[in-house]
Amino acid sequence: MRYAFYLGCATPVKALKYEISTRNLAKILGIELVDIPEFSCCGFPVKSMDSFAALLMAARNLAIAEEKGMDIIGVCTGCMAILSEAKEYLEDEKLRDKVNEKLKAIGAKEYTGRVKVKHFARFLYEDYRLDRIRDKIVTPLASLEFGIHYGCHYMKPTHAHGHFDDPSNPFTIDGLINITGAKTINYPNKNLCCGLTIMGTAEDISFRLAAEKLEYLSSRGVDAMVVACPSCCIAYENNQKLVGKRVGKEFNLPVLYFTQVIGLAMGLSEKDLGFEFNRIKADKITEKFK
Amino acid sequence: MKIGIYLCTCEGEIEKVIDIDSLVKEASGWSGITDVHKDAFLCSEDGIRKIRKDVESSGLERVLIAACSPFFKMEEFSDLGLNKYLVERVNIREQCSRAHRNDPENATKKTKAMLRIFLEKAKYSQPLQPLQLPSLRSALVIGGGVAGINASIDIAETGNEVFLIEKNPFLGGKVAGFHKYFPRMCPPSCGLELMFSKIKSNPNVHVLTSSEIDTISGSPCNFEIFIKTSPRHIDMDKCVLCGKCLEVCPHNAIVYPEGFSYPCIPAINKGLCAVDCNKCVAVCPVDAIDLDEEGKATNIKVGAIVLATGWEPFDPTPLAEFGYGRLENVVTNIEFEKISKEKKISFEEPKKVAFIQCVGSRDERHLPYCSDVCCMVSIKQALFLKEVNPDNEVYIFYNDIRTPGEYEELYQKARRRGTIFIKGIPSELKQDEPQKINFSVFDTVAGKRLDITTDMVVLATGIKPSQGTIDLKEKIGIVLNKNNFVESHIQCYPQDTQRNAVFSAGCCRAPMDVSRSIESAGAAAIKTLQFFNNCTEITPDNPAVNILKCDVCKRCIEECPFKAYSFDEKGFPKSDIMKCRRCGVCMGGCPLAAISLGGLSIEQLSVMLDVFDRSYLGEDEPLILGFLCKNDAYRAVDDAALKGITYPPNFFGIMVPCAGAVNGAIIAKAISTGIDGVLIAGCPDNQCHYIHGSTLAKARLTDISNKLKEMYLEPERVRFISIGRDDPEKFADSIEEYVEELKKMGRNPLRL
Amino acid sequence: MPPYVVKDKCDGCKGKEEPLCEQICIGDLMTLDMNTGKAYCRSLRDCWDCMSCTKICPKGAIEQRIPYQLGYHGAKLIPMMGTDSITWTCVDINGKVERFTYRTRNKK
Amino acid sequence: MYNEFFDREKLKYCYQCGKCSSGCDINRIDVSFQPHRLLHLISIGAADNLMEDAGLWKCTTCFTCSERCPQGIKVTEILWIARTIAVKAGHIPELLITQKDILLRTGRLIPMDNKKRGKAGLTAIQEESSVVARIFEIVEKEK
């Protein structure tokens, strides 16, 4: 099981706990994540400036993975959506020829359409399969209750992602967390966007979006929010104080990555899961399972 | 062979342009010509009498009428005392005198060339006798819903036998479960009861419930049908409807009839039974239950088939945002009918109910069409709620409210009773507290967002074609459209399917409400009766396969748009005279040119080319041979003449039933014997009367064009154009253009 | 030089059993590839260049070059079948084109 | 260049049911942002002002509208294209200018911090600085 590990831009700088926990979780699950230094930005930020440039950037990353003969596993939902969308666009042969011509000009290899792109959570759910994860659980997290935030780009646009999850009623990450013994709640604004993408252009709306979910989950008294994307984590954890200030409330809701939760159930240490980097300390959780 | 040529001057009109006298002189010298006659008014009584007299006295074997287009005066020239297939019409008015009114000299030359080739064609025509093939005066009606029942009654009450088959144990279909019909809001029991009593009392109707079609063989007029009937397990004659079996059955296996059902006898669904339960057998006071009863096979013969296979409600589960099946109190409109009929929920306590329209309908991913009835259904249900208690709050969220014709009245009524109509479709339904549904919707008229909490949401789901229709597709060979409704020529022959003697009634053709279903059932019944009457005499001009040439490649079987071909007893393909619609697509496709239509054989086309004077306009003038499809192009050419549009005399048109009827060997012969350009003119895209005739013609021409390229000839020497029958300008323009192009290309090097 | 089937043009004679080229071939060399639904020559060296398959193919999908004894490489012979006529186009090695039309003994 | 993505034909399918705006969380917070209106204005060719409209930059690209559109219109994609047109016309938000700058310099949206990574025990990652610059160069040349 060797996969090209697509980190993206945010994870290696802003979400070290995500990277650390993913690498260590993969290690005990026996999944080899290979670092590819040639990978660049997926193209998401460029999409608002020039669609074709964005497509070229995505295609270049796909071509690199294809050349190495590995499918892509990523941890950022935004990157995965952009790469999957690009894959869908490039099913059109005419467009693919045109893109390949340009790729050649920048010295990249040709993209033929073979490489598969999957988010780590989707990979665990679809390919690794729940029963194999269950076998590796050593400390069931029975007493915990989480609210899961999927992140819009995790399963949308569904046509690009091959309809693997239901955007109105998502279930895959719930499945992964339930396997650890922890409970997950179904809550009304489960599908709400974190709003991070417009933080720079419409900050007020962005913060209000984040506040809604934080308010609800705080009032429900869940142990933590579970996320699967560095951007969502920035919106809910890094900005938690700011958001609180904006709506006149003080939040103290830990935000964990799904990899941290699964790793905890598999007996990985706090350090191996990067809990030290959690800004809202999750001591209540970690102490229980020391 | 004695041949007479009759040239009409059309009261001098034709003669104004064409030198008829010189033609009479010239033609008299041709071999085999008995008489050449000029008449001022050939279609008058005198004219016809003259021809009939000549046929009788001189024993003419072929007659050429050189006059107007064959689409005029068809009646007058159909009975000249000679088999009508031996009379050849030469269209010298539309195609010569009118089309080239400014060029009398060339018009006369073209007329002469035309007479010459049609004379040759006439020499090779065969007399054909109409066949007597009376239809069985019995029909099979598939589907016992409201359409099927009405079609059956209509056919039976005109004295014909009807077999009505239904796959469920009872007749009545979907509407039997409804609360009320619109627009008059009467309960379905009322109408159905009357229909059932008509069926019961009419000995012409044979009802087969719990039955399905096994196989269909034979052809129109004489179909043979095998029907499988599943056992009912209850003896219809003995049962007294005491209901005891229903009480004791632990497995819900008794399908019990409603008060007005027909037949009003329960059925047992043995699939749900437990082995050795036998409780119902024990309790039955009249000993009517036989759990070992076996299914039956019935074999019937009918002349025609009426499809009334109906519809199925769309299942909204895939539209997960509406939470159907996940949220409480989100129901479909069909379920709401049941709720209101059985009073499962009382609406006497005021409630807030929201209807969401177009759930699944007008949706690319589900039902791309408008389901026709849902607006009316929601309005009907809204009126019901307002009637039970005017304080019920009713919202209808819509895209467009469609209440055509007089249904508008109900829409107005619903508005006046206080139903709130909001243009805007909610995107997601949520359940914040039990039994309540809340959602937010953008009112596009108000430009405002509304947050709404209701007690119930009714999803107005649409109509989708039934599985039964799809299952029958292969068995009958009917064509379904892209949405799986029965395909028909929707404007002119809505009730006809694309197979002869198979008609459609009700929702299997398109979504429709009860009243339109009954209308369409009546229309299908009339079509069936027409068929019974018309098929006593059948025109014999269906294509015949020359078995000396046929190699059994089966291309005709594959390409026939009406699946009319099967193998005869010797193993050669043979067209079914009843299924065939005489398009000639088989004739055009046969690689060995072994198939000929009754009135236009390959041999005739071939000899016509032999005698065709390639330089009738002079050595350097290009020559275009056109094959014109009967339904569109030929009419357009006639129309050009009528409107005074002229085109170069270099064009020469022959009528074919369909563009797809022109064989490649004929085109090859035309090109290789020196004709400069061959033009096939067919219907505009997707309007071919024979489904894919013009598509095939285009594909075949591409093959020939490729071959010409290989031969270092100009591939543009063959060409396909689409001409609508109302577009003579386009025709004239393309001919002019083509003549110019051919002049540039130069003479066909194969012209001698 | 054996026949060459142009895959884009061949439609396997739609019947999916025995295409016309298979029926006409005196050497029983042409047959249908059941996987692709296209005709092919199963033994190239046994072909006598009689061109029956080229003539009968309704799609004009079979090409044939003249064997070197007659016209050298690059020379081509293309038949076009009318109802009762055949037109041969000869292209010699220098690209010179000649065409001949003959009556055949086919009934019209 | 955007023509390849801009499904103009598809845009005409919109029958203004408003489902996109109903489900839009941005619309819930700021009612001036109305996807259905945006589609209508683009399709009737009256979107000139829209390109200057800051509303364009309020969308989080959450794809909810695209998912639920009964006509299968990729609403988010169209909005993205509208943004590129606005950018071409010179209506560029501050943020984008900064982002482009960083991208051209480092090939990434967020500059690498290998010191921090080292402290956390993670291996260093080199910035692929020239790639994005070259891609932009090629795309510019095409115009």
CATH domain C1-50 topology: Alpha-Beta Plaits (3.30.70)
- Least confident residue range of A79-93, B112-126, D41-55: D41-55
Residue at B218: amino acid letter: G
Residue at A128: amino acid letter: Y
CB-based touch B/C (3+ pairs, under 8 A): yes
| Co-location of A90 and A167 in the same domain | no
What is the pTM for the complete model shown? Answer: 0.81
Handedness of CA C92, C95, C101, C104 (dihedral sign): positive
CB-based touch C/A (3+ pairs, under 8 A): no
pLDDT digits (tens, 9 = 90+) for B344-359: 888 888 999 999 999 9
Name the DSSP class of B705. Answer: H
User: B352: which strand partners?
Assistant: B393
Residue at D104: amino acid letter: L
> What is the value of ipTM here, to two decimals?
0.76
What is the structure's pLDDT at B410?
Answer: 94
| Co-location of A115 and A241 in the same domain | no
State which of A63, A90, A119 marks the end of a domain: A119
Residue C5 belongs to what H/E stretch?
strand C4-5
Mutant choice from D4, D56, D61, D73 vs A, greatest count of A C-beta within 10 A:
D61
For residue B397, give how far its alpha carbon lies from the nearest alpha carbon of chain D (Å).
Answer: 9
Question: In degrees rounded to 5, what are phi and psi of residue B316?
Answer: -80, 5
Residues on chain A touching B320 (C-beta within 8 angstroms):
166-169
Mean pLDDT of D102-120: 89
CATH domain B138-230+295-304+470-533 topology: FAD/NAD(P)-binding domain (3.50.50)
What is the structure's pLDDT at B385?
Answer: 95
Q: Which chain B residue has its CA at the smallest distance from A190's CA?
A: B430
State which of A119, A149, A184 marks the end of a domain: A119
Going by C-alpha positions, the residue among A90, A126, A136, A133 that lies closest to residue A111 is A90
Helices H / strands E in chain D, number of each: 10, 0
- Contact check, Cβ <8 Å, A169/B326: yes
Q: Quick one: B448 exposed, middle or buried, by C-beta within 10 A (0-12, 13-18, 19+)? A: exposed
- Contact check, Cβ <8 Å, A10/D109: yes
Q: How far is it, in rounded angstroms, from Cα A91 to Cα A113?
A: 7
- Contact check, Cβ <8 Å, D67/A167: yes
Q: Up-side HSE of residue A249: CA atoms within 13 Å toward CB? A: 17
For residue B551, give how far its alpha carbon lies from the nearest alpha carbon of chain C (Å).
Answer: 7
Mean pLDDT of C16-37: 87
What is the structure's pLDDT at B324?
Answer: 94
Q: How far is it, in rounded angstroms, from Cα B736 to Cα B729?
A: 11
Q: Is B321 on the interface with A (CB under 8 A)?
A: yes
- Contact check, Cβ <8 Å, D19/B362: no
State the pLDDT confidence band at D2, using cuts at 50, 70 and 90.
Answer: very low
Could you state, in order of their start, the residue ranges of all structural domains in chain D? 8-88, 94-142
Cα–chain center distance at B360? 27
| Co-location of A109 and A157 in the same domain | no
Instruction: Please provide the distance, in angstroms rounded to a whole number, between the alpha carbons at the two ends of chain B.
Output: 30
**Is the pLDDT at B274 greater than 90, yes or no?**
no
Q: What is the dihedral of CA B486, B490, B492, B495, to 10 degrees?
A: 30
Q: Which of A57, A192, A209 sits opposite D135 (nearest CB)?
A: A57
Residues on chain B touching D17 (C-beta within 8 angstroms):
358, 399, 424-425, 444
Q: How far is it, in rounded angstroms, from Cα D94 to Cα D108?
A: 18
Residue at B230: amino acid letter: S
Q: How far is it, in rounded angstroms, from Cα A36 to Cα A8?
A: 11
What is the structure's pLDDT at D3?
Answer: 47
pLDDT digits (tens, 9 = 90+) for A244-276: 999 999 999 999 999 999 999 999 999 999 999
What is the structure's pLDDT at B65?
Answer: 94
- Domain B1-129, CATH class in plain words: alpha beta
**Range ranked top by mean pLDDT from B604-608, C103-107, D117-121:** B604-608
**Is the pLDDT at D1 greater than 70, yes or no?**
no
Interface partners of chain B (CB pairs < 8 Å, 3 or more) are: A, C, D
User: Can you point out the beta strands (E) in B68-160?
Assistant: 87-91, 131-132, 138-142
Going by C-alpha positions, the residue among B658, B548, B563, B643 that lies closest to residue B595 is B548
Q: How far is it, in rounded angstroms, from Cα B439 to Cα A137?
A: 40
- The parent domain of residue A233 ranges over 131-287
| Co-location of A142 and A224 in the same domain | yes
**Is the pLDDT at B204 greater than 90, yes or no?**
yes
Question: In degrees rounded to 5, what are phi and psi of residue B680?
Answer: -115, 125
For residue B27, give how far its alpha carbon lies from the nearest alpha carbon of chain C (Å).
Answer: 25
Going by C-alpha positions, the residue among B78, B110, B88, B80 that lies closest to residue B14 is B110
Mean pLDDT of C71-82: 79
Could you state, in order of their start, the residue ranges of all structural domains in chain C? 1-50, 66-108
Q: Is B558 on the interface with D (CB under 8 A)?
A: no
Mean pLDDT of B142-169: 95
Residues on chain B touching C84 (C-beta within 8 angstroms):
606, 669
What is the structure's pLDDT at B474?
Answer: 87
Q: How far is it, in rounded angstroms, from Cα B4 to Cα B39?
A: 13
- Contact check, Cβ <8 Å, B427/D22: yes
Q: Is D9 on the interface with A (CB under 8 A)?
A: no
For residue B304, give how far its alpha carbon lies from the nearest alpha carbon of chain C (Å).
Answer: 30
**Is the pLDDT at D4 greater than 70, yes or no?**
no
Question: In degrees rounded to 5, what are phi and psi of residue B590?
Answer: -65, 120
| Co-location of A141 and A192 in the same domain | yes
Q: Is D104 on the interface with A (CB under 8 A)?
A: no
State the pLDDT confidence band at D7, using cuts at 50, 70 and 90.
Answer: low
Mean pLDDT of B200-220: 93
Chains A, D: CB contacts within 8 A come to 163
Q: Which chain D residue has its CA at the smallest distance from B399's CA?
A: D17
Average pLDDT of chain A, as a whole number: 93
User: C100: which strand partners?
Assistant: C88
**Is the pLDDT at A115 greater than 80, yes or no?**
yes
Q: Which chain A residue has its CA at the smallest distance from B427's CA?
A: A168
For residue C41, give how far its alpha carbon lies from the nearest alpha carbon of chain B (Å).
Answer: 18
Using a pLDDT cut of 70, give the percent of chain C over it: 87
Instruction: Please provide the distance, in angstroms rounded to a whole number, between the alpha carbons at the two ends of chain D.
Output: 8
Going by C-alpha positions, the residue among A243, A256, A44 that lies closest to residue A153 is A44
Q: Is B317 on the interface with A (CB under 8 A)?
A: no
Q: Report the alpha-carbon angle B597-B601-B606, nearest 5.
A: 155
Q: Is B25 helix (H, G, I), strand (E, B) or coil?
A: helix
Q: How far is it, in rounded angstroms, from Cα B738 to Cα B652?
A: 13
Mutant choice from D34, D37, D68 vs B, greatest count of B C-beta within 10 A:
D68
- Contact check, Cβ <8 Å, B444/D20: no
Residues on chain B touching A166 (C-beta within 8 angstroms):
320
pLDDT digits (tens, 9 = 90+) for A118-153: 999 999 999 999 999 999 999 999 989 999 999 999
Q: What is the dihedral of CA B519, B524, B527, B533, to 10 degrees?
A: -110
For residue B732, give how far its alpha carbon lies from the nearest alpha carbon of chain A (Å).
Answer: 38
pLDDT digits (tens, 9 = 90+) for A182-225: 999 999 899 999 999 999 889 999 999 999 999 999 999 999 99
Residue at B278: amino acid letter: N
Mean pLDDT of B533-541: 81
Cβ-contact A192, A215 below 8 angstroms: no
Alpha helices, DSSP H, located in A221-269: 230-233, 240-247, 258-265
CB-based touch D/B (3+ pairs, under 8 A): yes
| Co-location of A26 and A93 in the same domain | yes
Omega of the bond leading into B561 within 30 degrees of 0 (cis) = no
Using a pLDDT cut of 70, give the percent of chain B over it: 100
- Strand duo B222-229 + B211-219: pairing: antiparallel
- Contact check, Cβ <8 Å, B449/D28: yes
Same fold, B138-230+295-304+470-533 and B312-464: yes
Omega of the bond leading into B715 within 30 degrees of 0 (cis) = no
Q: Is C81 helix (H, G, I), strand (E, B) or coil?
A: strand
Q: How many CB atoms lie within 10 A of CB B404?
A: 9
Cβ-contact A152, A196 below 8 angstroms: no
Average pLDDT of chain C, as a whole number: 84
- Least confident residue range of A25-34, B221-230, B283-292: B283-292
- Total domain count, chain A: 2
**Is the pLDDT at D5 greater than 80, yes or no?**
no
Instruction: Please provide the distance, in angstroms rounded to a whole number, between the alpha carbons at the two ends of chain A.
Output: 31
What is the structure's pLDDT at C72?
Answer: 64
Q: Is B75 helix (H, G, I), strand (E, B) or coil?
A: coil
Q: Is C102 helix (H, G, I), strand (E, B) or coil?
A: strand
Q: Quick one: B695 exposed, middle or buried, by C-beta within 10 A (0-12, 13-18, 19+)? A: middle
| Co-location of A137 and A112 in the same domain | no
Residues on chain B touching A168 (C-beta within 8 angstroms):
320-321, 323, 428
State which of A94, A119, A144 marks the end of a domain: A119
The 10 Å CB-count burial string (b at 16+, else e) for B580-613 is bbbbbbbbbbbbbbbbbbbbbbbbbbbbbbeebe
Spatial strand order of the sheet with B87-91 comes to: B33-39, B3-8, B62-67, B87-91
Residues on chain A touching D30 (C-beta within 8 angstroms):
202, 205
User: B361: which strand partners?
Assistant: B367
pLDDT digits (tens, 9 = 90+) for B86-98: 999 999 999 999 9
- Least confident residue range of B332-341, B545-554, D127-136: D127-136
Q: Which residues of C are catalytic?
A: 48
What is the structure's pLDDT at B133?
Answer: 82
**Is the pLDDT at A240 greater than 90, yes or no?**
yes
Going by C-alpha positions, the residue among B716, B721, B693 that lies closest to residue B704 is B716
CATH of the domain at A199: 3.40.50.11810
Could you state, in order of their start, the residue ranges of all structural domains in chain B? 1-129, 138-230+295-304+470-533, 312-464, 539-752
CATH architecture for segment(s) D8-88? Orthogonal Bundle (1.10)
Mean pLDDT of C74-89: 86
Mutant choice from B359, B430, B451 vs A, greatest count of A C-beta within 10 A:
B430
Name the DSSP class of A123. Answer: H
Q: Is A107 on the interface with B (CB under 8 A)?
A: no
Residues on chain A touching D116 (C-beta within 8 angstroms):
13, 16
Chains B, D: CB contacts within 8 A come to 69
Q: How far is it, in rounded angstroms, from Cα A42 to Cα A8?
A: 7
State the pLDDT confidence band at D8, using cuts at 50, 70 and 90.
Answer: low
What is the structure's pLDDT at D39?
Answer: 87
Q: How far is it, in rounded angstroms, from Cα D136 to Cα B609?
A: 65
- Contact check, Cβ <8 Å, B591/C57: yes
For residue A168, give how far its alpha carbon lies from the nearest alpha carbon of chain B (Å).
Answer: 5
- Domain B312-464, CATH class in plain words: alpha beta
Mean pLDDT of C36-61: 88
DSSP result, D36-61: HHHHHHHHTT--HHHHH-GGGGG---
Average pLDDT of chain B, as a whole number: 92
